[in-house]
Amino acid sequence: MSEVLRVTDLSTQFTTKGGVFKAIEELSFSLDRGQVLAFVGESGSGKSVTALSIMGLLNPRISKVSSGSVKLNGKEIVGATDQFLQKIRGSKISMIFQEPMTSLNPSISIGEQVSEVIQTHTGCTSAKAAESALDVLRKVGLLNAASIYNSYPHQLSGGMRQRVMIAMAVALEPDLVIADEPTTALDVTTEAGIMDLLKSLKKERKGTFILITHNLSLLQGFVDQVIVMYAGQVVERCTTEQLFNHPEHPYTIGLLGAIPQLSDLKTSLVTIKGQVPSPFDRPEGCRFAARCPFKEEVCLKPQELIEISPKHWSRCIKSPLKLDQMALRPINQTSKGLRIL
């Protein structure tokens, strides 16, 4: 399998009035063609900054990649010229944003916006670009593509706008598509439609995706690998199957318990007490320690990402977690947050 993206030790730094901090620290991963990688974590964990760093879309006045490298098909993106970035954005790498209304131009018709991408990169005639634009609008499941071609963003619903965004992103069949919370603002039914579309693009076109989400229930059936982020660091990295069946980092375990389950057993949701530490005030040791029910003295030291089993990394000194090594509390006394017994 061919490698599409390789990110090595990527750190991104922000300079604000409050001071300087790293939004992401020493992030490394690689992604093969036809694979889907997901970034999950709470707001402020660094998921979106990762996407912007890969796209070269960071605001240069306040942020920059401070170290590391991002290679797309072997070509370095960090430090590349604007010219080069403009050439690959849209043709080799593209992005679907969360807010389809703010990311479409309200005063240009849908068709023009989609064909602009095609024309700019391929240099074909406008008639030909219009033809392929219509094609791609049909491909993303917009039934009456011809009438949508001539409409403006405000005339479309949220789900249709998001389909237009996806059409623009996949129009030139780029090597990598980054979807940043693509369904967060949408209704459940629309969300299901958009996820089905992404799944079919993966299957039929061997699309390579990075999905950024805080909703773990979207992962199943689409995502191959997962990276869990917390306060700018990767805390766990594994396959989707491992994430749901054998999570190792306490943060992941807590997150999984916070999803309301559609099952008849009366359950109480797990709550992770406290908050993500402020980026200016991150503890020296494990960043999750203050909220972790398993913490011990060793957790006050900085933690490394360790490979605990093949292709499964966790930034927790206690991984792999074993029940018999803990100061065990009898299970039936802790009925809150527990789904068995």
Give the residue with the Cβ less far from another protein, 79 or 337.
337
**Contact between 220 and 240 (Cβ < 8 Å):** yes
Give the residue with the Cβ less far from another protein, 187 or 304.
187
Q: Is 158 in the site for another protein (CB under 8 A)?
A: yes
Phi, psi of 216 (to 5 degrees): -65, -25
Minimum CB–partner distance for residue 70 and another protein (Å): 27
Residue among 227, 231, 172, 162 at smallest CA distance from 197: 162
In angstroms, rounded to a whole number, what is the distance separating the alpha carbons of residues 106 and 128? 24
Question: Which span sits near another protein by CB under 8 A: 30-38, 71-79, 124-132, 151-159?
Answer: 151-159
Residue type for position 167: A
Question: Which span sits near another protein by CB under 8 A: 6-14, 111-119, 123-131, 217-225?
Answer: 217-225
Q: Is 231 in the site for another protein (CB under 8 A)?
A: no
Which residues, 6 or more positions from 321, have their beta carbon under 8 angstroms from its beta carbon? 248, 250, 253, 294
Q: Is 271 in the site for another protein (CB under 8 A)?
A: yes
In angstroms, rounded to a whole number, what is the distance separating the alpha carbons of residues 105 and 127? 21
Q: Is 273 in the site for another protein (CB under 8 A)?
A: yes
Judged by CB under 8 A, the residue of 160, 176, 238, 316 near another protein is 160
**Contact between 240 and 219 (Cβ < 8 Å):** yes
Give the residue with the Cβ less far from another protein, 33 or 282.
282
Spell 204-228 as b/e; 16+ CB within 10 A means b: eeebbbbbbbeebebbeebbbbbbb
CA angle 209, 210, 211 (to 5 degrees): 110
Minimum CB–partner distance for residue 225 and another protein (Å): 18
Total number of residues binding another protein (CB under 8 A)? 64
- The one-character DSSP state at 109 is -
Q: Is 221 in the site for another protein (CB under 8 A)?
A: yes
Minimum CB–partner distance for residue 119 and another protein (Å): 27
Site for another protein in 303-332 (CB under 8 A): 321, 323, 326, 329, 331
Site for another protein in 99-128 (CB under 8 A): none
* Residue 64 CA: distances (Å) to CA of 59, 67, 79, 177, 306: 8, 9, 10, 22, 27
Question: Which span sits near another protein by CB under 8 A: 104-112, 164-172, 198-206, 246-254?
Answer: 246-254
**Contact between 39 and 50 (Cβ < 8 Å):** yes
**Contact between 44 and 97 (Cβ < 8 Å):** no
Judged by CB under 8 A, the residue of 65, 210, 255, 299 near another protein is 255
Q: Is 279 in the site for another protein (CB under 8 A)?
A: no
Give the residue with the Cβ less far from another protein, 75 or 339.
339
Question: Which span sits near another protein by CB under 8 A: 73-81, 107-115, 123-131, 215-223?
Answer: 215-223
Residue among 94, 100, 71 at smallest CA distance from 172: 94
> Could you tell me the two tokens for 169?
């992103």
Give the residue with the Cβ less far from another protein, 1 or 188.
188
Judged by CB under 8 A, the residue of 105, 125, 147, 217 near another protein is 217
Binding site for another protein (CB under 8 A): 42-43, 141, 143, 157-160, 163, 187-193, 195-196, 214-218, 220-221, 245-247, 250, 253-265, 267-273, 275, 293-294, 321, 323, 326, 329, 331, 334-340
